[in-house]
Amino acid sequence: QKEVEQDPGPLSVPEGAIVSLNCTYSNSAFQYFMWYRQYSRKGPELLMYTYSSGNKEDGRFTAQVDKSSKYISLFIRDSQPSDSATYLCAMVPGSWGKLQFGAGTQVVVTP
C-alpha cells in the first residue's frame, strides 16, 4: 500500500464548475500538506500549503485537512480551462524534508 493515495483521473468538468480533489494517507506523522499544480512537461507549482487540520482559502482555491480521517482535499471554484493540469498532493512529517507525493490527478476543464 502506498503512503499517499490519489485517484489519477482524468477528471473532466465543465467551465465554471467546482473541481473536487482528494488524497488519503496512511502515515499519521505527516504534519504539513501541500497541493501542487503541474502543467504538461513542466515542474510542479505550489498552490496551497497547510499545517495540521483545518481549512485554508486562497482566491478560488480551498484546501482542507482532516487528520483524524487521514484525508485532504482541494476545491477549485469557478473552474477555468486554464485550470486544466495535473494536481499533486504532497505531505511531509516535519516542516522540511522528504516530500511524499500522490500520483497526481489529471483535471480537464472543458469550455
Partner 1 sequence: DAGVTQSPTHLIKTRGQQVTLRCSPKSGHDTVSWYQQALGQGPQFIFQYYEEEERQRGNFPDRFSGHQFPNYSSELNVNALLLGDSALYLCASSLRTGGEAFFGQGTRLTVV
Q: How far apart are CA 91 and CA 32, in angstroms?
A: 6
Q: For residue 99, what is its C-alpha cell?
A: 516530500
- Residue 82 φ/ψ, nearest 5 degrees: -70, -10
Binding mask 37-76 for partner 1 (x = CB under 8 A): ----xxxxxx--x---------------------------
> Nearer to partner 1 by C-beta: 14 or 97?
97
CB of 83 to partner 1, least distance (A): 19
Select from 2, 60, 4 the least CA-distant residue to 32: 4
* Residues that bind partner 1 in the complex, under the rule CB under 8 A: 4, 6, 8, 34, 36, 41-46, 49, 88, 90, 94-104
